[in-house]
Amino acid sequence: MIEIERKFLVLSNDFIAKAFSKKRIVQGYLNSNPERTVRIRIKEDKGFLTIKGKGNATGTTRLEWETEIPLSDAEKLLAICESGIIEKIRYEVKVGNHIYEVDIFGGENEGLLMAEIELKDENESFEKPIWIGKEVTNDRRFYNAYLSGKPFKSW
C-alpha cells in the first residue's frame, strides 16, 4: 500500500516508438484534498477507485490503495466528481530494469507531457532516457489532483 514514485517532465515524443502499451485514461476526483485524495479512473474499459495519502517531505512516498470497480460504477462516480476531469493517453516504456508511465495530457491540460517511475526504495538508482527532463516529484502543480482544478493551459 506504499507508493514510491518520481515524476519528470518529458522533452520529446521519442518514447512513443519504444512503448509496449498505450491506454486512454479519464479520471476525476471525489476529493482532491492533498491530505487524502479519492480518485475515480477509467482506463480503457476498466474502472478503478484509488485513495492516496499525503506524500512525505520529498514527495516520493505515500500511501496508495486501489481497487478495480465495475465500469458502470466508475462512470456513475465520475459524473459526480469535482469539476476538472483529467484526460490523457498513457504509454508504458521499459527502460533498463524499470517501466516509465508516460502521459500525454489532453483537454485543459493539453501540451503537458509527464513521466512517472515507480521504485522499490526512495534511493533506488534508475536509468534516465534522453527524453526525460526536469524532475517535478515534489512540485504539487504536477499532481493530477492539482491539474484537475488548475489546468496546465491556465498557467
Closest CA to 11 of 106, 128, 133: 133
Q: Which residues are catalytic?
A: 29
In the structure, what pLDDT confidence band is assigned to residue 39 with cuts at 50, 70 and 90? Answer: very high
47-103 pLDDT tens trace: 999 999 999 999 999 999 999 999 999 999 999 999 999 999 999 999 999 999 999
Span 108-116, average pLDDT: 98
Query: Beta-strand (E) ranges in 17-135?
Result: 19-31, 36-43, 46-53, 61-69, 86-95, 98-105, 113-118, 132-135
Q: Which domains does the chain have, with CATH numbers?
A: 2-154 (2.40.320.10)
Model confidence at 1, in pLDDT bands (50, 70, 90)? confident
